[in-house]
A and B are shown apart, each in its own frame.
Chain A
Amino acid sequence: MEQPVTSLETGNTAVILWLEGGHWFQNKMRGIGIREQKTIRLVAKHPFNGPIVVEVDGREITIGRRMADHIITGVPE
């Protein structure tokens, strides 16, 4: 099932399938460690459309909700 990382349950893990957006967005995400094929875990989701915290490669990263909505994840085959 394909879904944005923001739809995961807190604590759950998925694989990043693609980054939906322009060059700038993709570069920014990849630069900070959020890349296709990586396993991503949702650590925290802040209320009132606040940011989410994810863990990739053992590192926590905080990202705004709108950006996070464009990180599309799925379950690996």
Chain B
Amino acid sequence: MKKIVLMGNPNVGKSVVFSRLTGTNVIASNYPGTTVDFSKGKMCFGKEGHEIIDAPGTYSLEPSNKAEEVAVEMFGQADLIIDVADATNLERNLYLTLQLLEQKKPVILALNMWDEARHTGIIIDLKKLENELHIPVVPTVALSGEGFSDLVRRFDEARSPAEIEPMNDRERWMKIGEIIGNVQQVTHRHHTLRDWISEASIRPLTGVPIALVVIFTALWLVSFIGETLITYIFDPLFTLYAPIVMSISIWLGPGLLHELLIGQLINGEIDYIQSMGLLTTGLYVPFAMVLPYIIAFYSVLAVFEDTGYLPRLATLSDTLFHRFGMHGFGIIPVFLGLGCNVPGVLATRSLETKKQRFIAATLIAISVPCMAKNAMVFGILGSFGMVYVILVFGTLFLVFVSSGIILNRLIKGDSPEICLEIPPYRKPDPLTVLKKTWMRIRWFLKEAIPFVFLGVLLINVLYAVGFVEWLGGIFAPVIQGWFGLPQEATTALLVGFLRKDLAVGMLLPLGMSPLQLVIATTLLTIYFPCVGTFAVMFRELGIRDMIKATAFMAGTAFVVGGAMRLILLGI
């Protein structure tokens, strides 16, 4: 089986090409650095099956961050290269093309974004370009599929031209100048409304107010969509479901199985949040509490990503993020982390140095609340009043800022400057947005539900064997003495390692005051990441840095919890 690798500059449409060729959907977004790992898929043409690999984008074969390293590694394994180039930016894209051709592997060039090239008045003579490069050149529009039958049909013609010899940089750029002069004509472009909006949103004076409005609108949209879904869809569904579980409960009668499936009855009734059975809390928490917000967040995020606004936001926050030892691009992993920390930590691969990646990953794990954590905060404190919710998020924000400043001082290493291409604004395609949101929802269900079930199971087992009381006793000095919480709260913290959202049902019955609950939920979000995040941090940072990050989190939780007790409880 032949390995076919998609190579090209960042944000030229490789991932859309991949989805189209293989039928396997991968995330594509309008900013450079969307893909940070490879994806494999299969396609058939001729008699054989072929393996297609989507790689991260890179400007050259000398990688400057971890994502680009993956791209170069994939290149090494390739039997055939589909070089995807942005037709609206051919000159710059040809640098990588020439480098690929010099490596003596068969290459075929897909001139993607052909639709945009047409619109902007860029004319490329394909025959001449083929003659210059000595490989097949196929114009494509990945979004609509235009040109793909040609592309596939011409795979056989891919070749490694003997005419292209290894060059140095200067020679390469000379050659590119020559080629562009021969094949490309650019008609003069007038400034459009789109250019005007683009500049307004990236200049400091206009950009900052625009950013504030955009972010608040987005947050409002997420909570509005989430609440609407809960009120009109998910809560009614669970109301319909209630008599069914109740009859199961009666049918089962008391006993171990009842404990596991239904859990505790509260005043003779099933309480979806506190009962802690697989069929009650185990279903209610992921589906009715978290899922609606996951749907809301990811649909809003998809629109954001596809417009191309994120790199502008990165530019505006660059100065601030330098205080935290990163540069503006760091805001993109933080944004992704608001949905789930796992893709957030993964996205740190587009940062250049170890120091930047360590700080970004640690800050995300410690103080960027994912949707499950947000659901927990709202679930526990929402009924007491917004002021308590704001107290938690305000504390998290302070923790983010101060941890960032401290880590920047503490961690040795470089924090290079930003160097980021700003893509043109594009109109999000509704179908693409829906598909992308659906992909992430499916991913959430696949990853989260097993852990919710495991968590529910663990809670039941731990209570049954008396582990909870034993552990509560051990941690009592810290939990009671230092944080000012009842010792039973220990279990919630323990289970929080599996799923933070399950803790709601464990904290509510303890009869704590709202301010104590503020402390408990804040601690739950910062003391330790959930297993999923823990695993991805381990993989991305390595064991030593993982231990460092964990120690920092535990230390921060200790300090912050103590300080909150002093300030909020006054004891």
Contact = CB atoms under 8 A, between A and B. Distances in A.
B173 A30 contact: yes
A76 to B, nearest CB: 17
B417 interface: yes
B171 interface: no
Contacts of A26: 169
B30 interface: no
Interface string B26-64: 000000000000000000000000000000000110101
A8 interface: no
A51 B203 contact: no
A59 B199 contact: no
B95 A31 contact: yes
Contact of B95 (A30, A47, A51, A63): A30
Contact of B422 (A47, A48, A61): A61
Contacts of B330: none
B421 interface: yes
B440 to A, nearest CB: 27
Given A27-B62, A33-B89, A51-B318, A59 B204 contact: no
A50 B417 CA distance: 10
Nearest to B204: A46
Given A43-B203, A60-B198, A64-B327, A50 B420 contact: no
Nearest to B198: A60
A50 B316 CA distance: 9
A49 interface: yes
Given A32-B92, A59-B89, A43 B419 contact: no
Contacts of B316: 46
A44 B422 CA distance: 13
B418 A51 contact: yes
Contacts of A64: 318, 327, 416-419
A7 interface: no
B59 A31 contact: yes
Given A43-B202, A46-B315, A53-B202, A61 B95 contact: no
Contacts of B203: 10, 43-44, 53
A57 interface: yes
Interface string B137-174: 00000000000000000000000000000000100010
A58 interface: yes
A65 B315 CA distance: 12
Contact of A63 (B62, B198, B204, B418): B418
- CB-CB nearest 8 A-B residue pairs: A64-B417, A31-B59, A60-B422, A50-B319, A44-B203, A62-B315, A33-B92, A62-B420
19 contacts: A32-B419, A33-B92, A35-B173, A44-B199, A44-B202, A44-B203, A47-B204, A47-B319, A49-B319, A50-B319, A51-B417, A57-B91, A58-B88, A61-B421, A62-B318, A62-B328, A63-B419, A64-B417, A66-B417
